[in-house]
Amino acid sequence: MPVVGVLALQGDFAEHIVVLRRLGVETREVRLPGELEGLDALIIPGGESTTIGKLAHDYQLIEPLRALGAEKPIWGTCAGAIFLSKDATRVKQGQPLLGLMDITIQRNAFGRQVDSFETALNVPVLAAFDPANPPFEAVFIRAPLIESVDAPDVEVLARLDSETIVAARQGHLLATSFHPELNQDDRFHQYFLSLIPD
């Protein structure tokens, strides 16, 4: 049974833990470098990307997270996707990024909290977890978008329209602009778990 950590510095880490436990996965809240030991994968939740980056720096997590991400699956949702990226626009000067995934993220691409919305996404890779593959109801809250994929091995998983990228994968790294943990549909979590080697 894999052990999946959830970075618990700020944001909606508890909601991810609820989904993982519903799927029967052993989970661990991560706040300190030593709590990364023995993990098979990690989720970086949504929240406030500046705060997550600052606290990760303060708790000396940046380099340990980079080392983990070089070998094991990491999934960044919303603010977590910003933190995971190699480049980001509209972020505060000096905001730490892990620089693991070859994507450029635009912070707060859809506006403020009042501009939050839900929409149905077509996500072909989720058919592995439900052959009917109904649209995934995605929740966007002060969401970023993936402005560009910056390496040939980055796979676009979902778009809002013909242009706007909102989910991508690069090897064992996954980024989503939205919050799958706020949906009873756990297919994205199942997809992430499938990235963990047997």
Q: Is 113 helix (H, G, I), strand (E, B) or coil?
A: helix
The number of domains in the chain is 1
Q: Is 15 left (phi over 0), alpha (psi -120 to 50) or beta?
A: alpha
Domain that holds residue 154: 3-194
Select from 79, 99, 39, 196 the least CA-distant residue to 29: 39
Select from 81, 82, 70, 80 the least CA-distant residue to 36: 70
181 is catalytic: yes
Return mean pLDDT, the chain. 93
pLDDT at 113: 59
> Of 16, 147, 172, 179, which one is the catalytic site residue?
179
- The model's pLDDT over 49-94, given as tens digits with 9 standing for 90+, comes to 889 999 999 999 999 999 999 999 999 999 999 999 998 887 777 7
- Cα separation of 193 and 20, whole Å? 9
Q: Do residues 158 and 137 make contact, with C-beta atoms less than 8 angstroms apart? A: no
- Stated pTM of the model: 0.94
Rounded to an integer, the average pLDDT of 139-168 is 92
- The model's pLDDT over 111-134, given as tens digits with 9 standing for 90+, comes to 665 567 899 999 999 999 999 999
Beta strand pairing status for 3-7 and 41-44? parallel
- Cα separation of 176 and 183, whole Å? 14
Q: Distance from CA of residue 38 to its chain's centroid?
A: 20
- Cα separation of 107 and 126, whole Å? 26
Select from 74, 63, 68, 89 the least CA-distant residue to 145: 89
71 is catalytic: no
pLDDT at 115: 61
> Of 78, 147, 172, 189, which one is the catalytic site residue?
78
Rounded to an integer, the average pLDDT of 136-142 is 92
- Cα separation of 43 and 47, whole Å? 12
* Residue percentage of the chain with pLDDT more than 70: 97
* Residue percentage of the chain with pLDDT more than 90: 80
CATH number at residue 159: 3.40.50.880
**Would the pLDDT of 108 be above 80?**
no
- Cα separation of 60 and 131, whole Å? 43
Beta strand pairing status for 26-30 and 3-7? parallel
